[in-house]
Amino acid sequence: MQDIERKEFCLAGFQSVLILCVISWLFYDSFWFLLGAPIFGTIYLMDWLKKRCKEKERIFCLQFQEFMRTLTADLRTGYSLENALLETAKELRTLYGPEDRIRKEMEYMVHQFELNLSTDWVLRSFAARVEQEDVHSFVSVFLTAGHVGGEPIRILEQTGKILYDKLEVYREIQTITAAKQMEFRIMTVIPFGIIAYMRLAFSEFFQVLYGNLLGVLVMSGCLACYVGAWYLGRRMTEIEV
C-alpha cells in the first residue's frame, strides 16, 4: 500500500464518482442518488485498494526475484553480505527507476548501512517494511543459516526457485483465464449500453420507470441483480495464488 501514489488514489476517486453519475442517470434519471457518494465511494475505494495492492505485490515479487539473482551473483564473487547488498543496490539503479519499490527499498538499506546499522537489523527492517510473506521467510531463513554456518548462496538459489515457480503458476493461470476475464469485462458494460441505447432511442418507453415509487423499486431490483451477477462473475474469474 505504501507505494501507491496519490494520483492513483485521485484517479480511483474520479472513477467512483463517474460510475455513480452513470448509475444515477441510467437507473433513476436523478442525481439525488449521488447523496450516497460517500458510502459508494468508500466501498469502491476499499475494493480498488485491495485489488491494486495485489497487483503491486506481484510486481514487487518480480523485482525481488531480480534482487535475489543479483545478490547471489555478488556473493559468488566473494563479497561479504553487507558489501554484496551495497553492490546489488548499485546494479539495481541501472534496472529500475526511482519510483520502483525495490529501488526505494535498496536506497533506504544503503542509508541504514551509512548509519552503521548491522546487516541483521537492515534485513529485518526490510522485511518489516515490505510485509510480504516471501520476503519474511527469506530474511528469517537467510539470517538463521548465516548464524549457524549455513550456505547463503544455496539458500538464495532455493528461495529464488520457489518464488519463480510461484510466479510461473500465476502467469499460467492468467493466460488460461485471460479470455474469460475479457469476456467478463465486456459483459459488465453491455447492460449499461443497452439501457443507454433504450433511453436515447426510445425515451418515452423508459419514462414510466422514472419519477415514481414503482419505477424506483423496479430499477433498484435490476441494479441489485446486476451487482450480484458482477460480484459472482468477478469471483469466478479471479483466482488467487
Closest CA to 101 of 236, 180, 13, 5: 5
- Counting the structural domains of the chain, the total is 1
CA distance linking residue 87 with residue 103, whole number of Å: 13
Is position 65 within any domain? yes
Is position 142 within any domain? yes
Is position 35 within any domain? no
Mean pLDDT of the chain: 82
Is position 221 within any domain? no
Q: Which of 41-55, 102-116, 119-133, 166-180 has the lowest mean pLDDT?
A: 166-180
* Residues across the chain: 241
* 6 CB-near residues (< 8 Å, 6+ apart): none
pLDDT digits (tens, 9 = 90+) for 124-164: 888 888 878 778 877 887 777 666 655 667 777 777 777 77
pLDDT digits (tens, 9 = 90+) for 41-64: 788 888 888 888 888 888 888 888
Q: Which three cell numbers stand for residue 98?
A: 526511482
Is position 116 within any domain? yes
Is position 54 within any domain? no
Q: How many CB atoms lie within 10 A of CB 70?
A: 20
Is position 68 within any domain? yes
The end-to-end CA distance of the chain, in Å, is 19
Sign of CA dihedral 122, 125, 130, 133: positive
The SS3 call for residue 78 is coil
DSSP 214: H
Q: Read off the pTM.
A: 0.73
Is position 153 within any domain? yes
DSSP H stretches of helix in the chain: 6-23, 37-76, 81-93, 101-114, 119-130, 133-147, 152-201, 203-206, 213-237
Would you say residue 241 has pLDDT above 60? no
Alpha carbon separation from 236 to 168, 178, 224 (Å, rounded): 20, 12, 19
Closest CA to 169 of 241, 119, 114: 241
- Residue 138: give the domain boundaries: 59-168
Q: Which three cell numbers stand for residue 213?
A: 415509487
